[in-house]
Structure 1
């Protein structure tokens, strides 16, 4: 068994989606590995052009647990700019509901269905729990497949950008996350 921890380092904004000021950046996702299913939902971070921001410490750990040798953590992330206000006071309940949707989808599909796309699709369905999610701007989506074997410490980046247009509804973000194995 290998103990694997996946945690957010920061997000850097070269160009916001909103042309009138800061974006309200947040992540929605889920990761499954070993016997652990982890729902991911960060509260919005107000971020503007040329800024780098960290996530709340209690929301920075995306996954932590023991993974059998030769297996992977699978799932994905979606990044949004919040445009429709949500009831973030219900944060804890929402995370539980998203985890339940992921677990239900995997139970229905069977253990061999634990592929990143299946998990990300379930997250999207579970994300509907957040009222008005479809009104928020989707900045990017990525599938993750993190092996239990690899370097002890590894940093990866995910670039989300839309550069077409004349500054209207364009964006450029880089999310950095760290993988630790022991």
Structure 2
């Protein structure tokens, strides 16, 4: 068994999606591996051009669990710019529970640890559907993750999400950095 931990380092914004000021950047997703399932939902971070921001410490750990040799942590992330204010204080905990339950259901239906990363990500995103019913938040990027239990003891990975076409209206350029630890 290998203990795998995946945690957010920071997000860097070269160009916001909103042309009138800062974006409200947040993540939705889920990861599963071994006997561990982790729902991912970060509260929005106000971020502007040329800024680097960290996530709340209690939301920075995306996954931590024991993974059998030869297996992987699977799932993914969706990044958004919040357009309509939401009731984060009253709905955050319930939404995390819904995401976790949806991931568990997808794993049970899809063959357990062998389920595809996309299946886990789709279940997580569907469970967080209350986040965008009025003014749909802007999807900045989607990534599926598969993190092997074997590899270096520490590594950092970057996920670049950008839309650079157009005249500056509704374009963006972000890099999310996350750290993987194996012991």
Q: TM-score range by the shorter chain?
A: over 0.9
Match of 2:167 in 1: 166
Unaligned runs of 5+ in 1: none
Give distance in 2, aligned partners of 1:134 and 1:76.
24
What SS does the corresponding residue of 1:120 show, helix, strand or coil?
Answer: helix
SS in 2 for 1:18: coil
Within the alignment, does 1:115 sit opposite 2:137 as a pair?
no
What TM-score results when the alignment is normalised by the length of structure 1? Answer: 0.96
The answer to whether the Cα contact below 8 Å between 1:86 and 1:132 also exists between their aligned partners in 2 is no
CA distance in 1: counterparts of 2:111 and 2:43, whole angstroms: 31
**Tell me, what secondary structure is at the counterpart of 1:135?**
coil
1:16 aligns with 2:8: no
Aligned residues: 182
Q: Is the 8 A contact 2:33 2:113 kept in 1?
A: no
CA distance, structure 1, for counterparts of residue 134 and residue 103 of structure 2: 17
Q: Please, what TM-score do these two structures have when normalized by structure 2?
A: 0.96
Sort the Cα spacing of 1:98 and 1:105 in 2 relative to 1 into closer, same or farther, 3 A: same
Moved over 6 A (4+): none
**Which residues in structure 2 correspond to 1:94-173 (within 5 Å)?**
94-111=95-112, 113-132=114-133, 135-173=136-174
1:23–1:82 CA contact under 8 A, matched in 2: yes
Measure how far apart 1:134 and its partner are. Answer: 6.7
Distance 1:35-1:93 versus aligned 2 partners, 3 A rule = same
Q: Any idea what the Cα deviations from partners look like across 1:63-83, whole Å, max 9, x if unmatched? A: 001100110000000000000
CA distance in 2, matches of 1:83, 1:67: 38
* Deviating more after overlay: 14-23 vs 86-95: 86-95
Q: 2:80 & 2:6 partners in 1: Cα distance?
A: 20
Partner of 2:65: 65
How big is the alpha-carbon RMSD for the aligned residues of Structure 1 and Structure 2? Answer: 1.3
Distance 2:162 2:147 in 1: 23
